[in-house]
Amino acid sequence: MGRIKIQAGINAIEEEPEESDPSYSNKTTLACMINSEIGSVLAVMRRNVRWGGRHMSGDDQLEHSLILSLKALRRQIFSWQHQWQTINPAFYLQPFLDVIRSDETGAPITGVALSSVYKILTLDVIDQNTVNIEDAMHLVVDAVTSCRFEVSDPSSEEVVLMKILQVLLACMKSKASVMLSNQHVCTIVNTCFRIVHQAGTKGELLQRVARYTMHELVRCIFSHLQDVDNTEHALVNGSTTLKQQTGGPNNEYAFGSRQLENGSTNTEYDNQPNFASATVGTANVMDENIAFPGSAKEKMPYDMHLMTEPYGVPCMMEIFHFLCSLLNVVEHMGMDPRSNTIAFDEDVPLFALTMINSAIELGGPSIRHHPRLLGLVQDELFRNLMQFGLSMSPLIISMVCSVVLNLYHHLRTELKLQLEAFFSCVILRLAQSRYGSSYQQQEVAMEALVDFCRQKTFMVDMYSNFDCDITCSNVFEDLANLLSKSAFPVNCPLSSMHILALDGLIAVIQGMAERISNGSVSSERSPVNLEEYTPFWMVKCENYSDPNHWVSFVRRRKYIKRRLMIGADHFNRDPKKGLEFLQGTHLLPDKLDPQSVACFFRYTAGLDKNLVGDFLGNHDEFCVQVLHEFAGTFDFQDMNLDTALRLFLETFRLPGESQKIQRVLEAFSERYYEQSPHILANKDAALLLSYSLIMLNTDLHNVQVKKKMTEEDFIRNNRHINDGNDLPREYLTELYHSICKNEIRATPEQGVGFPEMTPSRWIDLLHKSKKTAPFIVSDSRAYLDHDMFAIMSGPTIAAISVVFDHAEYEDVYQTCIDGFLAVAKISACHHLEDVLDDLVVSLCKFTALLNPSSVEKPVLAFGDDAKARMATVTVFTIANRYGDYIRTGWRNILDCILRLHKLGLLPARVASDAADESELSAETGHGKPVTNSLSSAHMPSIGTPRRSSGLMGRFSQLLSLDTEEPRSQPTEQQLAAHQRTLQTIQKCHVDSIFTESKFLQAESLLQLARALIWAAGRPQKGNSTPEDEDTAVFCLELLIAITLNNRDRIELLWQGVYEHISNIVQSTVMPCALVEKAVFGLLRICQRLLPYKENIADELLRSLQLVLKLDARVADAYCEQITQEVSRLVKANASHIRSQLGWRTITSLLSITARHLEASEAGFDALLFIMSDGTHLVPANYVLCVDAARQFSESRVGLADRSVRALDLMAGSINCLARWTSEAKETMEEEEVAKLSQDIGEMWLRLVQGLRKVCLDQREEVRNHALLALQKCLTGADEIILPHSLWLQCFDMVIFTVLDDLLEIAQGHSQKDYRNMESTHILAMKLLSKVFLQLLQDLSELTTFCKLWLGVLSRMEKYMKVKVRGKRSEKLQELVPELLKNTLLVMKTRGILVQRSALGGDSLWELTWLHVNNIAPSLQPEVFPQQDLERLQHKQGESVGGLVPDEKGYVPSNETVSREDAAIAG
Pick the catalytic residue from 18, 204, 268, 657: 657
For the chain, helix, strand, coil in percent to 5 are: 65, 0, 30
Tell me the C-alpha distance between 172 and 141, whole Å: 10
Is residue 965 annotated as part of the catalytic site, yes or no? Answer: no
Which amino acid, one-letter code, is at 216?
A: E
Q: Is 395 helix (H, G, I), strand (E, B) or coil?
A: helix
Alpha-carbon distances of 82 from 14, 28, 29, 78, 365, rounded to whole Å: 18, 11, 14, 11, 45
Tell me the C-alpha distance between 901 and 985, whole Å: 11
Sign of the CA dihedral 658, 664, 667, 672? negative
Angle at 727 between CA 722 and CA 730, to 5 degrees: 165
Which amino acid, one-letter code, is at 879?
A: A
Half-sphere exposure of 704 (CA within 13 A, CB side): 1
Output DSSP code: residue 174.
Answer: S
Listed in sequence order, the residues at least 6 apart from 1219 whose beta carbon sits closer than 8 Å to its beta carbon are 1174
Q: How many CB atoms lie within 10 A of CB 263?
A: 20
Tell me the C-alpha distance between 1404 and 1402, whole Å: 6
Q: Give the DSSP H or E segment for 1363.
A: strand 1363-1364
Tell me the C-alpha distance between 653 and 785, whole Å: 38
Residue among 1103, 943, 1111, 935 at smallest CA distance from 1033: 943
Q: How many CB atoms lie within 10 A of CB 36?
A: 14
Listed in sequence order, the residues at least 6 apart from 469 whose beta carbon sits closer than 8 Å to its beta carbon are 557, 561, 772, 773
Tell me the C-alpha distance between 912 and 900, whole Å: 16
Tell me the C-alpha distance between 376 and 1151, whole Å: 99
* Contact assessment for residue 299 and residue 286, using Cβ atoms and an 8 Å cutoff: yes
Where are the alpha helices (H) located in 777-934, listed in sequence order?
785-806, 810-829, 833-845, 856-864, 866-882, 889-902, 910-920
* Contact assessment for residue 434 and residue 394, using Cβ atoms and an 8 Å cutoff: no
Alpha-carbon distances of 478 from 444, 445, 460, rounded to whole Å: 18, 14, 13
Query: What backbone torsions phi and psi does residue 1312 show, to the nearest 5 degrees?
Result: -65, -40
First to last CA, the chain: 144
Tell me the C-alpha distance between 347 and 327, whole Å: 10
Sign of the CA dihedral 947, 953, 958, 959? negative
Tell me the C-alpha distance between 815 and 821, whole Å: 10
* Contact assessment for residue 1393 and residue 1384, using Cβ atoms and an 8 Å cutoff: yes
Q: What is the largest CA-CA distance in the chain?
A: 207
Query: What backbone torsions phi and psi does residue 1079 show, to the nearest 5 degrees?
Result: -65, -50
Tell me the C-alpha distance between 202 and 211, whole Å: 13
* Contact assessment for residue 795 and residue 484, using Cβ atoms and an 8 Å cutoff: yes
DSSP-derived secondary structure for 596-646: HHHHHHHH-TT--HHHHHHHHH--SHHHHHHHHHHHHT---TT--HHHHHH
Tell me the C-alpha distance between 732 and 755, whole Å: 29
Active site residues: 657
